[in-house]
Structure 1
């Protein structure tokens, strides 16, 4: 069986309980077709870059899947018919990540460390990184 990461976007007016029901429905489809679902993450309600089917926001959810391709195809087919699903994407991976995904990892300003000089003129001389001035003709 192959490993997949599957992300889908649900409409903004779907409740948290309805989102859990959607996840359980698609988890059931995977399991009926001989696969299994590992980690399930709810990334919450996030703003979209552009409107999708008149929605400005969407609920994001991630599922780690270990299943045959037929099971994933059936799940995607069912998603196409559901009006609550705005978009979905399935990506084949070599191995599932351990721990929380990048979307759930809390980034702190102190974790970034020193990023070096800002590039102000005082850091590298009068001309910055452009080099010496050439005479004009």
Structure 2
């Protein structure tokens, strides 16, 4: 298993319950694929460096996890179909 981290930005127009449910959904996707979550860090609502989809802010969340090498592609696919996620990145940690 390798270590990864993902940062994703959620739409600023959602309520706190939707933020929590989206984070829970991402955590369950990781755990269902035999991944292990090491840390979840809510950075809160922050101003974006540039406008994305006519939005200037977003909720930032960082998740550190361990998984198989093929799993980041599946997680990326899931992020792309989630309507509330406006930007995401998955990075391998050394």
Partner of 2:42: 42
Larger radius of gyration: 1
SS in 1 for 2:70: helix
Which structure carries more helix by proportion? 2
Residue 69 of structure 1, CA deviation: 2.6
3-state SS in 2 of match to 1:25: helix
Within 2, Cα distance between the matches of 1:27 and 1:70? 17
Specify which structure has the bigger relative contact order, considering alpha-carbon pairs within 8 angstroms and separated by 6 or more residues.
2
Q: In the TM superposition, what are the counterparts of 1:1-137 in structure 2 within 5 Å?
A: 1-94=1-94
SS of residue in 2 equivalent to 1:69: coil
Once superposed, what is the RMSD of the aligned Cα atoms?
Answer: 1.0
Q: Aligned-pair distance for 1:71?
A: 2.5
| CA positional deviation for 1:79 | 0.8
May I ask how many residue pairs the two structures share in their alignment?
A: 94
CA distance in 1, matches of 2:69, 2:42: 24
Normalized per residue, the structure richer in strand is 2
Scaled by the length of structure 1, what TM-score is found? Answer: 0.65
Shift in Å at residue 75 of structure 1? 1.6
> Alignment partner of 1:14: what SS?
coil
Q: Which runs of 4+ in 1 moved over 6 A?
A: none
Q: Please state how far the C-alpha of 1:4 moved relative to its aligned partner.
A: 0.5
